[in-house]
Structure 1
Amino acid sequence: MTIDRLERRQTEDLDRSEEQFRLLVEGVTDYAIYMLDPSGYVSSWNAGARRIKGYEPEEIIGRHFSQFYTEEDKGGDLPARALEIAASEGRFEREGWRVRKDRTRFWANVIIDPIRAEDGTLIGFAKITRDITEKRQSQEALERAQRELFQAQKMEAVGQLTGGVAHDFNNLLMAILGSLEIAKKRALAGQNNTDLIENAIQGAKRGAALTQRLLAFSRKQELKLEPVDVADLVKGMAGLLQGSIGPSIEIVTSFPLALPKVQADANQLETALLNLVVNARDAMPRGGVITLSASKQSVHRDDVKDLQGDFVCLSVKDDGDGMDAETLEKATAPFFTTKGVGKGTGLGLPMVQGLMAQGGGALALRSSQGGGTTAELWLPLAEETESVEQPPLQPSILSKRSERRLNVLAVDDDPLVLMNTVLMLEDLGHQAMQAYSAEEALRLLEQGPLPDLVVTDHAMPRMTGGELATEIARLLPGLPVILASGYAEIPGGVSCDLPRLAKPFTQSQLAESVASAVS
């Protein structure tokens, strides 16, 4: 075969290959594949472009490709920017709305690739457009269904939560209202009503405890995090724990000789541990053994509740009947309980879970049918810093402080709470002014005389107690303010050094807070 015949054969093969490729591109109907010149004018048009965009070749070839874009995109100069990005970066890809010949819109996936000559000169662009409207609609329908499902689940959870709270508070309010009504009648008749008042106080305390559980569950309870020795804490609770479970159950402890301190709220940790021990007791109605143990462990993100780092794991293990997988999954759901009607609020484990999460740790439950249950408290280690113990205040100092008569401005938008706070202050020997809003408090301060102290609620409309404290610090620096709130989260801008009084508070807690604020 001569060289001329060989070259002719290669040329024919190349022409045939190019023709096959041209027919392939022109025959594709699922993709709009066409060419643009360097300025963006259409130079070729395949069957897919005709089907998707609605133009015949003679209607579109020679016209600028920007007419496929929406007015919004053209206003943002997207067609020109698309070509610039393709030319500079070697590719442009994006999803967005495009316009057909009949001006209807479709959601498109667009790819633009630059075409260059052998010397690198830009000679045009290859543009591929795919109509993915149905895919986008399916995705939107799926996301909408997921949102609706989430909303339904959220409403179900809210219904369970409010129903449980309403049930428990109804019982407490019945005790309080009933006791106070009878106490009022006895008082008018000159009879002793101490027992009824005590009953109302106990009901109110139970209501406060329920509120604290709800705050712990929602992770909005104020925690006093400090280094805690777990072994010492458990040892100090020995009598309380044994008294809570009765003589038919034995408590066994297992702690290493050296265990690092953890960062926790000691009081809340005691409450959490007591809850777990009581749960373990209830899981063994015929008696058994509860094992309390602790150890230092390093965990990775996949091990326990997305934790990572070094922790102390404090566990409570019982040898009861255990839980099946379905019950274990629901165990930390609010108001879920296996103890029967009236025997449990179903807030114990959610409270513990909230406390652990708020303190940077986690609650983990391990159980199997017939294999008992182990509840684990994963507690972060305390920072190793030297702590200087503050000497306790002497009773004589406290009594001397309490004898000082103060002029106190009490602020609260709830008239009942405000009246109660004023009565407490006056009963302590102080003189009390009152304001029903932060704005009214500022007017009183402007009019004078100035009080020695301001005690304000935080959650108030228009201006919060925290904002009032900030304004007082600006206008009257040096005037002490106590912020009363049941929540741990105070918005930014409020000084972290501001004295706090946790709601609901007793008279003794108010007295202590007042004495501390003016010392």
Structure 2
Amino acid sequence: MIDDHRERSIELLAATDWTRSPLGSPETWPEALRNAVSLMQDSLMPMWLGWGPELAMVYNASYAEMLGGKHPAAMGAPLQQVWGEVWADVSTLIDTALAGRALYREDLPLRVRRNGFEEPAWFTFAYTPLRDSAGTVQGLICNVWETTEKVRQLQRLDESERQFHTLFERMDEGFCVIEFLDGPHGPLSDYIHVLANPAYAANAGIPDVVGQKVREMVPAEADGWVEIYRNVLTSGVPVRFERELERTGRYLELAAFRIDPPERRQVAVLFQDVTRRHRSDRALRELNDTLERRVEQELAHRLRTEEALRQSQKMEAVGQLTGGIAHDFNNMLAVVVSALDLLARKYLQDDPLAMRYVDAARNGTKRAAQLTHRLLAFSRQQPLRPEALNANRLVSGMSDLLRHALGASIQLEAVQAGGLWRTHADPNQLENAILNLAVNARDAMPDGGRLTIETGNAFLDDRYAAEQVGLLPGQYVMVAVTDTGNGMTPEVISRAFDPFFTTKEVGRGTGLGLSQVYGFVKQSGGHVKIYSEPGQGTTVKIYLPRLLHAQDEDAQTSPAPLTAHADGRETVLVVEDEAAVRAMSVDALSELGYRVLEADGAEAALRLLDAHPEIALMFADVVMPGMNGRKLADEARRRRPDLKVLFTTGYTRNAVVHNGVLDAGVDLLGKPFTLEELGASVRAVLDKER
């Protein structure tokens, strides 16, 4: 975790144009500054430093997250420019540190602008002077913790305690908390009053009751009171009763219940004077009803949360299994697909009957590859290429495809929200998800019907998010697909996202459509929910996180290059630890016209690279024993900066895919691949300018 944080911090520095900063190029920085920056990069704590007359800022990855919209412009910028809105509040602290004195401030309130608007926030700072090699203060370094949530929780707690105290002091009913003691009469034979409100003293006729033991207060009545409340403590069963107090002449109605856990040995007692009934009976009944409703609500909430957790754990376990199966199956398919392509290309082009058999086998491998891709999607192990996305534009662009897939008997309707937020998602995978939902909806309307695709902005609040495992509250872009079909029973809904679960007859679907949707949405940090009733149709809602500060236009993807045959002068190094896969890759590249060298691991590959400067491209598997493909590529490029690299893998939890997203600048060809796909990818990488 520390290494990952340090790498991200180093990448922040590498991505900054230091020519625009008063600090200049990092190579020119004094040793004291470089040492301070290295220390900061190693720290998981959010840290920044300011150096020089303008206190130009350098910070680590943790602090970049705290900056919000101020990053990346803040890197290298003068401190006062970055935090101008709070300068009046922090300038004295900064001056103190620059004067050579370290200081610490806890929960300092500030109004900061970092996400397009000002908002109150609280921070804890530790300022330390930074000195050059001569001991002169040249800047300062700051550890910073944002304590906004803690302060707000304390404020809410203070307000809650204030309200409770006001209610406690002013309520007409007497209220006290007693704690049982062991005494001369045996275990739990006495109790002491630990809390009591003014109404208690007034109704009981005993002032200053807190701290008094019942056997000292009312010796003659103590046995009766101890027995009643001890039964409540030991059994956990609340009790309600009425009793006349002889010493005051008042008739009281009392309710007592145990304060859990029982080890606290405390019982709460609520009572009122029922000599006069203006209002006290009604208040007690309402209080009781409210408590019962709250208990029922909390129990229902807990049951829903537990069920969601069980479902999430089940899906995660199945996902791990299916992801591993898909990885191994992809490697086997890679051999089969390459063998079929080479067989057809080299030996069977003039044999129609043999080609028919080869084409049948190719179709089978294509369907198997699609199956493994869906398994990887469900297990949240597919490499995503997310981009700023306008869901309205994407849905509009799918209209022809959807009409073709739905057929003439289904009426297609789109309801698009105005002012729709952008999201950050893989457009191809979102299209696949919508298409899967549309095909499912079509099959649920065998006699025709209406399919509606709706977009909208949504806010998922804390209460809703708490019942969905792994979901964060906040702003989301919603895409909903609604049909007027057969609908689902609650039992079917509970299993709808399970892989291979289907209600269709044999031969109609694999049962992976909704599983693929589930995996893509979860991998994208979103949420998916089914609403359905038998005979009333179904709505599936996809929620993808809102993207703030998106560009005005969506990113445009370039079309894939066509397959090109090489002229035999370009050399490709194949690095693959599985012999069968390596052999097929070598044969395929040779057939495409490349001169091919092969290695079964990193050590052999580096020896070949040193011995053969003519190698133009390295085609490397990512997952290998010892040094993986990514580390091999880094070392190879250190020796040969001009070397082109194309990765391949059948498994996406590896060194080039992090959090489900392909690393920037990485070229990846997933297994299995056809001869044409291999040729196109190799040609595209070789022709790409570095």
Q: What TM-score, normalized to structure 2?
A: 0.47
SS of the residue aligned with 1:452? strand
Q: Does 1:285 align with 2:446?
A: yes
User: In structure 2, what is the Cα distance between the partners aligned to 1:351 and 1:393?
Assistant: 25
- Of 314-323 and 505-514, more deviation after overlay is shown by 505-514
Structure 1 residues 301 and 417 mapped into 2: Cα distance closer, same or farther (>3 Å)? farther
Conserved? CA contact 2:349–2:355, under 8 Å:
no
Q: CA deviation at 1:354?
A: 0.6
User: In structure 2, what is the Cα distance between the partners aligned to 1:331 and 1:196?
Assistant: 37
Within the candidate set 511, 528, 537, 1:346 is matched to 511
Structure 1 residues 271 and 285 mapped into 2: Cα distance closer, same or farther (>3 Å)? same
Conserved? CA contact 2:379–2:519, under 8 Å:
yes
Conserved? CA contact 1:179–1:196, under 8 Å:
no
User: In structure 2, what is the Cα distance between the partners aligned to 1:351 and 1:402?
Assistant: 37
Paired amino acid for 1:454: M
SS of the residue aligned with 2:183? helix
Q: CA deviation at 1:412?
A: 1.0
Equivalent residues in 2 for 1:368-379, closer than 5 Å: 368-379=533-544
Within the candidate set 469, 481, 484, 1:319 is matched to 484
Within the candidate set 234, 238, 251, 2:395 is matched to 234
Structure 1 residues 154 and 224 mapped into 2: Cα distance closer, same or farther (>3 Å)? closer
Q: Which residue of 2 aligns with 1:21?
A: 183
User: In structure 2, what is the Cα distance between the partners aligned to 1:496 and 1:178?
Assistant: 30
Q: Does 1:384 align with 2:554?
A: no
Q: CA deviation at 1:492?
A: 8.6
Q: Does 1:261 align with 2:426?
A: no
User: In structure 1, what is the Cα distance between the partners aligned to 2:423 and 2:417?
Assistant: 14
The CA deviation string for residues 115-165 of structure 1, in whole angstroms up to 9 with x for no partner, is: xxxxxxxxxxxxxxxxxxxxxxxxxxxxxxxxxx99x97999589969x98
Structure 1 residues 292 and 195 mapped into 2: Cα distance closer, same or farther (>3 Å)? same
User: In structure 2, what is the Cα distance between the partners aligned to 1:354 and 1:178?
Assistant: 31
* Consecutive unaligned residues in structure 1, runs of 5 or more: 1-19, 28-108, 110-148
Structure 1 residues 258 and 404 mapped into 2: Cα distance closer, same or farther (>3 Å)? farther
Q: CA deviation at 1:444?
A: 2.0
Within the candidate set 419, 444, 447, 2:583 is matched to 419
Equivalent residues in 2 for 1:49-64, closer than 5 Å: none
Conserved? CA contact 1:221–1:486, under 8 Å:
no
Q: Does 1:363 align with 2:528?
A: yes
Equivalent residues in 2 for 1:54-133, closer than 5 Å: none
Q: CA deviation at 1:213?
A: 0.7
Structure 1 residues 191 and 295 mapped into 2: Cα distance closer, same or farther (>3 Å)? closer
The CA deviation string for residues 199-231 of structure 1, in whole angstroms up to 9 with x for no partner, is: 333322222211111111111101110012212
User: In structure 2, what is the Cα distance between the partners aligned to 1:440 and 1:360?
Assistant: 40
Q: CA deviation at 1:478?
A: 3.9
Q: CA deviation at 1:406?
A: 2.0
Q: Does 1:440 align with 2:604?
A: yes
Paired amino acid for 1:500: D
Structure 1 residues 244 and 200 mapped into 2: Cα distance closer, same or farther (>3 Å)? same
Q: Which residue of 1 aligns with 2:357?
A: 196
Q: Which residue of 2 aligns with 1:470?
A: 634
Paired amino acid for 2:583: M
User: In structure 1, what is the Cα distance between the partners aligned to 2:355 and 2:393?
Assistant: 39
Structure 1 residues 429 and 160 mapped into 2: Cα distance closer, same or farther (>3 Å)? closer
User: In structure 1, what is the Cα distance between the partners aligned to 2:516 and 2:502?
Assistant: 13
Q: Which residue of 2 aligns with 1:308?
A: 473
* Consecutive unaligned residues in structure 2, runs of 5 or more: 1-181, 190-262, 264-309
Conserved? CA contact 1:334–1:350, under 8 Å:
yes
The CA deviation string for residues 408-434 of structure 1, in whole angstroms up to 9 with x for no partner, is: 101112233223322333333321111
Q: Which residue of 1 aligns with 2:177?
A: none
Structure 1 residues 378 and 319 mapped into 2: Cα distance closer, same or farther (>3 Å)? same
Conserved? CA contact 1:212–1:221, under 8 Å:
yes
Equivalent residues in 2 for 1:327-342, closer than 5 Å: 327-342=492-507
User: In structure 1, what is the Cα distance between the partners aligned to 2:340 and 2:669?
Assistant: 26
Structure 1 residues 183 and 320 mapped into 2: Cα distance closer, same or farther (>3 Å)? same
Conserved? CA contact 2:564–2:679, under 8 Å:
no
Structure 1 residues 299 and 283 mapped into 2: Cα distance closer, same or farther (>3 Å)? same
Q: Which residue of 2 aligns with 1:454?
A: 618
Structure 1 residues 214 and 394 mapped into 2: Cα distance closer, same or farther (>3 Å)? closer
The CA deviation string for residues 269-322 of structure 1, in whole angstroms up to 9 with x for no partner, is: 111110000000111111111111111111124336424211111111011121
Conserved? CA contact 2:422–2:550, under 8 Å:
no
**Structure 1 or 2: more strand by fraction:** 2
Conserved? CA contact 1:453–1:479, under 8 Å:
yes
Conserved? CA contact 2:388–2:551, under 8 Å:
no
Percent of paired sites with the same residue? 33
Conserved? CA contact 2:326–2:373, under 8 Å:
no
Q: Which has the larger radius of gyration?
A: 1
User: In structure 2, what is the Cα distance between the partners aligned to 1:227 and 1:452?
Assistant: 34
Conserved? CA contact 1:402–1:511, under 8 Å:
no
Conserved? CA contact 2:388–2:425, under 8 Å:
yes
The CA deviation string for residues 443-483 of structure 1, in whole angstroms up to 9 with x for no partner, is: 32244345122110011223321222233244444433222
Q: Which residue of 2 aligns with 1:248?
A: 409
The CA deviation string for residues 366-403 of structure 1, in whole angstroms up to 9 with x for no partner, is: 111222110111122233243688888799x9899977
SS of the residue aligned with 1:364? strand
User: In structure 1, what is the Cα distance between the partners aligned to 2:629 and 2:646?
Assistant: 9
SS of the residue aligned with 1:302? helix
Conserved? CA contact 2:563–2:680, under 8 Å:
no
Paired amino acid for 1:438: A
User: In structure 1, what is the Cα distance between the partners aligned to 2:552 and 2:395?
Assistant: 22
Q: Which residue of 1 aligns with 2:100?
A: none
Conserved? CA contact 2:633–2:645, under 8 Å:
yes
SS of the residue aligned with 1:200? helix
Q: Which residue of 1 aligns with 2:681?
A: 510
Paired amino acid for 2:475: D
User: In structure 2, what is the Cα distance between the partners aligned to 1:291 and 1:214?
Assistant: 28
SS of the residue aligned with 1:220? coil
Conserved? CA contact 2:437–2:481, under 8 Å:
yes
The CA deviation string for residues 51-80 of structure 1, in whole angstroms up to 9 with x for no partner, is: xxxxxxxxxxxxxxxxxxxxxxxxxxxxxx
**Superposed CA RMSD:** 4.5
Q: Which residue of 1 aligns with 2:248?
A: none
Paired amino acid for 1:327: V
Structure 1 residues 156 and 379 mapped into 2: Cα distance closer, same or farther (>3 Å)? closer
Q: Which residue of 1 aligns with 2:382?
A: 221
Q: CA deviation at 1:436?
A: 1.8
- Of 504-513 and 430-439, more deviation after overlay is shown by 504-513
SS of the residue aligned with 1:303? helix
SS of the residue aligned with 1:460? coil
Q: How many residue pairs end up in the alignment?
A: 374
Within the candidate set 267, 273, 289, 2:434 is matched to 273
Q: Which residue of 1 aligns with 2:645?
A: 481
SS of the residue aligned with 1:469? helix
Structure 1 residues 459 and 234 mapped into 2: Cα distance closer, same or farther (>3 Å)? same
Structure 1 residues 471 and 493 mapped into 2: Cα distance closer, same or farther (>3 Å)? farther
Paired amino acid for 2:375: L
Conserved? CA contact 2:389–2:423, under 8 Å:
yes
Structure 1 residues 165 and 264 mapped into 2: Cα distance closer, same or farther (>3 Å)? closer
